A and B are shown apart, each in its own frame.
Chain A
Amino acid sequence: MGRLEQRYRVFSAFLKLYPPDYRNRYGQEILQLTADMLDEAPGRFARLLIWSRVLADLPLNIIVQQCSYVGGIMYKDTPGYIKRNGVVAGVMLLPFVGALVANLLDQLVNNHDLYNSWLWRAPALATWILYLPILAFLVAGISYAVYVSRGAGGKTWLKRALNIVVSWPVLVSGLTAFAILFAVAFHDSVHCWVQSPAHVATHLSQTWQCSERNTISLPTVFKRAFEL
């Protein structure tokens, strides 16, 4: 650890949030420049002012550099099928987002609850918002599995599995699809768990039964969607 890193430990830790390439290239210079500014400050208040400016300026620039870094990796290293399938899976989730917004408007304007809403009364749409997330989850999941299982680049499967900088397009789409399916299945049972933690802990079996009673299995949801 260099002299400046020791002198400004916290600031050096913040600089570690920059992407590695950028940090190696400009980290020392940023540290030196900050030290120069502080050394020339006339008093304690001026130093405080400099710190507030320097720290306030940091987050946005870190985000900019991280986006540029991830964008660069995507451009160079991310396989075409990961990018393509990430976008395809993301597009499949758009009807759900659209339906959610429409349903929210329906609730606000017509005071309809979910089961009496425009969303639930449109079977085709209800099917889309269930089938498409499943399809999106499969597309994203299979793409991720293919990426992890392929031995390209001389990395172990574990390293590839953890290399989210490359696989994030399918991971984001896949996890969003999973969250949608989870929400569809469990949204009625949430109230069983949203109580005081002490009550849940002391009435675990009742809470579990309540949850099971109110959980909608996916086949039930599909059936309901087709019946309408």
Chain B
Amino acid sequence: MKRSMQLLPQLSFSILMALSLKPRHGYEIMKQVKEDSLGKINLNPASLYTAIKQLTDDGLIEELPQEDTRRRYYQLTKEGWQRLNAELEYFDNTVKLARQRKAYDSNGVMVWAA
């Protein structure tokens, strides 16, 4: 039987998405998350690093070896890729389901089927 999956918090998911393109440091992650969310997610440093620490502890991202301790680069681990793919698959199915249930009223306005 397939194990049930606990969805990642929005912030963690956004960080994994930002790191799916290439390894990035904190400021780049912050800018990419803002861009990906069309400006809706405006991260702050403290929250960002709380999430980064959690993702690192969970083994979903890792730090690239480097000397500059002010700008560390992070990348997805193998487990991180698997988790991101599982999340995307879930969202993909959810969107498909939502599209199937979509209906329109007599005025052509979209409503959700009961």
A residues in contact (CB < 8 Å) with B: 4, 22, 25-26, 28-34, 36-37, 53-54, 56-58, 60-62, 64-65
Whether A61 lies near B47 (C-beta < 8 A) is yes
Which residues of chain A have C-beta atoms less than 8 A from B50's C-beta?
Answer: 61, 64-65
Whether B47 lies near A33 (C-beta < 8 A) is no
Given known contacts A22-B53, A33-B30, A57 and B45 CB-to-CB distance under 8 angstroms: yes
* Complex CA distance for A37 and B30, rounded to whole angstroms: 10
* Complex CA distance for A61 and B50, rounded to whole angstroms: 7
Whether A28 lies near B70 (C-beta < 8 A) is yes
Report B112 CB to chain A, min CB distance, Å: 35
What are 29 A-B contacts defined by CB distance under 8 Å?
A: A4-B70, A22-B53, A26-B49, A28-B69, A28-B70, A29-B25, A29-B26, A29-B69, A29-B70, A29-B71, A29-B72, A30-B26, A30-B45, A31-B70, A32-B26, A33-B27, A33-B30, A33-B48, A34-B45, A36-B27, A37-B27, A54-B45, A56-B44, A57-B44, A57-B46, A58-B46, A61-B50, A65-B50, A65-B53
Name B50's closest neighbour in chain A (CB-CB).
Answer: A61
Which residues of chain A have C-beta atoms less than 8 A from B53's C-beta?
Answer: 22, 25-26, 65
B residues in contact (CB < 8 Å) with A: 25-27, 30, 42, 44-50, 52-53, 69-72
Whether B46 lies near A54 (C-beta < 8 A) is yes
Report A39 CB to chain B, min CB distance, Å: 10
Report B75 CB to chain A, min CB distance, Å: 15
Report B5 CB to chain A, min CB distance, Å: 24
Name A40's closest neighbour in chain B (CB-CB).
Answer: B27
Instruction: Rank and list the top 7 A-B pairs by shortest CB-CB distance, nearest first.
Output: A57-B44, A61-B46, A32-B70, A33-B26, A26-B49, A36-B27, A33-B45
Given known contacts A29-B71, A32-B70, A62 and B46 CB-to-CB distance under 8 angstroms: yes
Whether A54 lies near B72 (C-beta < 8 A) is no
